[in-house]
Chain A
Amino acid sequence: MSTLVSATPAVVVRSARRYRWRRRLAAGLTYLGLAGALVFFLGPFFWIVTTSLKGDSDFFAFPPVWIPSHPSLAHYVGLFTRASGLRYFLNSLTISSMSMVAALVVSLPTAYAIARWRFGGGLLGTFLLVLRMLPAIALIIPVYLMYKQLGLTNSYLGLVMLYTVVYIPFAVWLLVGFLRDFPVEIEEAAMIDGCSRVGALLRVVVPIIAPGLAVVALFSFIATWNEFLFAVVLTGIETKTMMVLVTTYTSGGTDMFYGEASASVVLGVLPAFVVAFLLQRYLVKGLALGGTKG
Chain B
Amino acid sequence: MKRLALVGIALVFVAVVAAALRPGPAPAQGNRPYEGTTIRAVVNAEYVKYSLSLVEKDLYDKLGIKLDVEVIPLDAFVPKTLLEFNGGGSPWDLVMFGPSNMPDYGRHFEPLEAWAQKLKLDFQLDDIADVYKKLMLRHNGKLVSMPYDGDVHIMFWNKVAFERADNKKKFKARYQYDLAPPKTWKQWDDAAEFFHGWGWDGTDNKLFGAGASYKPSGSGYSYHWWRSRFFSYGGQYFDADMKPLINTAPALRALEEMVRTMPYYPPGVLLFESEEPKTMLVKGEVPMLYSWTSTGKRVGDARESVIVGKAGFGVVPGAEIDGKMVHRPAITPGRAMAVSKYSKKIEPTMKVLEFISLPEQSLKIVMDPKTIMDPWRVSHFRSEKFRKAFPGAAEYLDAIEKTFPLVVPDPVIPGADEYQRKLSFEITEALAKRKSPKDALDAAAREWEKITDRRNRDKQKAAWGEKLAEMKAIGIEYHPEWATKAK
Contact = CB atoms under 8 A, between A and B. Distances in A.
A256 interface: yes
B75 A255 contact: no
A154 B91 contact: yes
Interface string B63-85: 00000111111111000100100
Given A154-B91, A233-B83, A236-B91, A255 B72 contact: no
Contacts of A80: 20
Interface in B269-297: 273-275, 279, 282-283, 294
B345 interface: no
B76 A232 contact: yes
Contacts of A249: 46
Contacts of B107: none
The listed residue with most A CB atoms (<10 A of its CB), out of B40, B72, B73, B74, is: B73
B50 A254 contact: no
Nearest to A243: B73
B173 interface: no
B47 interface: yes
B10 to A, nearest CB: 14
Interface string A218-249: 00000000000000110011001000110111
Nearest to B45: A252
Contacts of B484: none
Given A60-B279, A83-B49, A144-B83, A248 B304 contact: no
B303 interface: yes
A145 B87 contact: yes
A56 interface: yes
Given A148-B87, A256-B369, A257-B50, A237 B70 contact: yes
A59 B303 CA distance: 9
Interface string B7-51: 000000000110010000000000000000000100011110110
Contacts of B47: 253-257
Contact of A257 (B294, B304, B370): B370
B204 to A, nearest CB: 15
Interface string A147-161: 010000010000000
B303 A252 contact: no
A86 interface: yes
B187 to A, nearest CB: 29
A90 interface: yes
A252 B218 contact: yes
Contact of B45 (A145, A240, A248): A248
Nearest to A254: B275
B80 A248 contact: no
B124 interface: no
A244 B73 CA distance: 7
Given A86-B20, A237-B91, A253 B45 contact: yes
Nearest to B47: A255
Nearest to B75: A251
Contacts of A257: 46-47, 50, 370
A62 interface: yes
A260 B46 CA distance: 10
B17 A86 contact: yes
Contact of A232 (B73, B303, B304): B73
A71 to B, nearest CB: 18
A60 B298 CA distance: 12
Interface in B113-152: none
A118 interface: no
B372 A255 contact: yes
A41 B387 CA distance: 46
B74 A83 contact: no
Nearest to A81: B20
Contact of A57 (B50, B282, B303): B303
A197 interface: no
Interface string A48-63: 0000000011011010
Interface in A82-138: 82-83, 86-87, 90
Nearest to B79: A233
Contacts of B68: 237
Contacts of A141: 83
A245 B83 CA distance: 20
Contacts of B40: 237
Contacts of A253: 45, 47, 74, 273-275, 372
Given A82-B50, A90-B17, A255 B370 contact: yes
Contacts of B274: 253
Contacts of A59: 304
Nearest to B77: A252
The listed residue with most B CB atoms (<10 A of its CB), out of A57, A62, A232, is: A232
Contacts of B16: 86
The listed residue with most B CB atoms (<10 A of its CB), out of A145, A232, A253, is: A253
Nearest first, the 8 closest Cβ-Cβ pairs linking A and B are A252-B74, A247-B73, A248-B71, A256-B370, A60-B304, A251-B73, A237-B70, A255-B47
26 contacts: A60-B304, A80-B20, A83-B46, A86-B16, A86-B20, A141-B83, A145-B87, A232-B76, A233-B80, A236-B91, A237-B40, A237-B91, A247-B73, A248-B73, A251-B74, A251-B75, A252-B74, A252-B273, A253-B74, A253-B273, A253-B372, A255-B370, A255-B371, A255-B372, A257-B47, A257-B370
Given A82-B53, A232-B72, A236-B91, 6 more contacts: A81-B20, A144-B83, A237-B68, A251-B76, A254-B47, A255-B371
